[in-house]
Amino acid sequence: MAKFDLDLFVIGAGSGGVRASRISAGYGARVAIAEDRDVGGTCVIRGCIPKKLFAYAAHFSEDFEDAAGYGWTVGPRTFDWATLVAAKDKEIARLNGIYKQILAKAGVELIESRAKVVDPHTVSVGGKTLTAKYILVATGGKPFCPPIPGEALGITSDEAFNLPRFPKRVVIEGGGYIAVEFAGIFHGLGAEVVLVYRRAPLLRGFDLDVREHLTDELQRKGMDVRLNSEVAAIDEGADGARITRFKNGDSLACDAVMFATGRKANTAGLGLENSGVQLGRDGEVVVDEFSRSSVESIYAVGDVTGREQLTPIAIKDGAKVAATLFGGRDSAVDHEFVPTAVFSQPPVATVGFTEEAARTLYPEVQVHRSTFRPLKHTLSGRAERTFMKLVVDGASGKVVGAHMVGADAPEIIQGVAIAVKLGATKAQFDATVGIHPTAAEEFVTMA
């Protein structure tokens, strides 16, 4: 008779949890997964996928304008928020169904209820208790809102995709990737956007040149970017308006105030502390390189660990945990040279070290920069400029950082990331023939 009801119980059916469940079941493990919201997690339901779809929608406003420079006559045009939301909902429902099918085909039991850890081998879910040899926490993160007067009158990215009406005037507080992405979305769809950030420039943690270039481009597009500023309070005005008050005493009326002020691990009420699991300052599960918590039988993957908040990392973490527990080998994710993108307008993509970080690691650093007007805009007339940068270890010649702001940056950097991961040198970049005429060729012709 089995000592436990299950070999693995997973809490949270997002990207990391689903991947760990499916692969573990493939190794022959008895697996159940609990989810009290839609299957797919933040990325699929209220993050990466709907955000990218909305970013596509927002970019059409510039595409229509640019078409005139190429001889096209574009007639009257309007945007309908309800149509976009309905189309998004249809696609998200389809993906939710696919994720459920993946679990079912793998033989993973899906329990659509909230689960709580009782002890290192026991969970309470759906009015019953189950025991498992291992428990995996994959509950992701949730938006953090600053505790200010009127906080409840604001929204977060969770609500932004399903607003009943399109807000014509939006205040967004934050300077990270979610803030700049939604600033581009709302602006592109026709809203007046005020982007408020308590520091300067935007995108703390990214390369300084990238930060400054993106800030300039957003302002060039007509966004009101207020740096070194903070929202102090929100009041309810007439006809549902939101009166935003700033710490410097200014105030303005708008239709929505969005907080994009960070995310915290979604661990509240899970019972982890009572089970001896060590949590970090922001509630994240502290794990080792194998995603094992301070309790030997409890693991955690994805955003709930406080590591890189990237879907591909969660997926790889989930796969590695399955291999460690049921594949017969300890397996860890290599977190060096992880590429990432910000789907702002224009988009940002990067891999490797910033110039600032590189100068603390290498005795000699070579920096190569290029700023240019994309070929497309020689006829469209748009003033947008593309920025590219390579950071090189002077001693070895290896490219240790690649950064870009401009059209197709995420698609371009994905390929560059392979070279950086493999340790390619600047000389090898230079020896590579560029594809002409493309923006990407600048990475192999940069002096």
> Active-site residues: which are they?
436
Query: Residue 50: phi, psi to the nearest 5?
Result: -60, -35
- State how far the alpha carbon of 177 is from the alpha carbons of 51, 102, 204, 352, 443, in Å: 11, 30, 9, 17, 24
Q: What does each C-alpha distance from 91 to 103, 104, 141 come to in angstroms?
A: 19, 20, 23
- For 311-363, give the DSSP string: HHHHHHHHHHHHHHHHSSS------TT--EEE--SS-EEEEE--HHHHHHH-S
* CA–CA dist 17, 317 (Å, integer): 9
Q: Which residues pair with 34 in a beta bridge?
A: 11, 111
How far is it, in rounded angstroms, from Cα 74 to Cα 56?
A: 19
Cα–Cα dist 88/414, whole Å: 26
Pairing of strands 115-119, 242-246: unpaired
Count how many Cα atoms sit within 13 Å of the Cα of residue 91 in the half-sphere of its side chain: 17
Residue with tokens 């939006």: 170
Q: Which residues pair with 135 in a beta bridge?
A: 9, 298
Question: In which residue are the tokens 């189309």 written?
Answer: 87
